[in-house]
Chains A and B, each alone.
Chain A
Amino acid sequence: DARVTQTPRHKVTEMGQEVTMRCQPILGHNTVFWYRQTMMQGLELLAYFRNRAPLDDSGMPKDRFSAEMPDATLATLKIQPSEPRDSAVYFCASGTWTPFFGQGTRLTVV
């Protein structure tokens, strides 16, 4: 059963700490996305990669967020330093014409 796998599912951290979220896309999918979901903003695209190359990260706060794809089976999203306003659900999705989503990482920054 092919699926996008995200870890961790839940993360509680203190303000100022580094947070790393990981995503394993579905094998064979050449495009990987990071989305953020909040009550106020809804679902927002943070960054995406095609064939491991970053194509667009304009939705990401550059000073504290970074996204990488070190190999075809792993995408990472890092926040350093984290702030309370970063509390949200972060989704990874992969696909070609149709994005399939992971279960999300619920991040709480206190």
Chain B
Amino acid sequence: AQTVTQSQPEMSVQEAETVTLSCTYDTSESDYYLFWYKQPPSRQMILVIRQEAYKQQNATENRFSVNFQKAAKSFSLKISDSQLGDAAMYFCASHAGGTSYGKLTFGQGTILTVHP
């Protein structure tokens, strides 16, 4: 079984600044995938970034990047040059490979507020 923990219920950042959201996970699988999803007030679940556990290089998507520490089972999300549109709930999630691929386990979420 997999578990995902987000220890920060809420975070805030000033527009144009950088913020890091934390996530830790636990799994007994060697093949697994990690994700960050964004859920704005519209409630749409939007994929932000994904990381395959077998890849050592940290994933990057424009202003979003991750710090994947496999030994520590840590998967934090860094948002650079924060924008007002980044305000949302952010969920960290994971799934194992093999027959369980796609079955996501979610963290509790972190509400991000962006101040102008």
* A positions within 8 Å CB-CB of B: 31, 33, 35, 37, 42-43, 45, 48, 55-56, 89, 91, 93, 95-101, 103-104, 106
Contacts and interface: CB of A to CB of B under 8 A. Distances in A.
A70 B99 CA distance: 22
B104 A42 contact: no
DSSP majority for the A interface? strand
B93 to A, nearest CB: 8
Interface of B: 33, 35, 37, 42-47, 50, 91, 95, 99, 101-104, 106, 108-109
Contacts of B109: 42
Highest count of chain A CB atoms <10 Å: which of B35, B45, B104: B45
Contacts of A56: 103
B35 to A, nearest CB: 7
A31 B35 CA distance: 17
Nearest to A91: B45
A96 B91 contact: no
B61 to A, nearest CB: 13
Contacts of B46: 101
B101 A97 contact: yes
Contacts of A89: 43
A57 B103 CA distance: 12
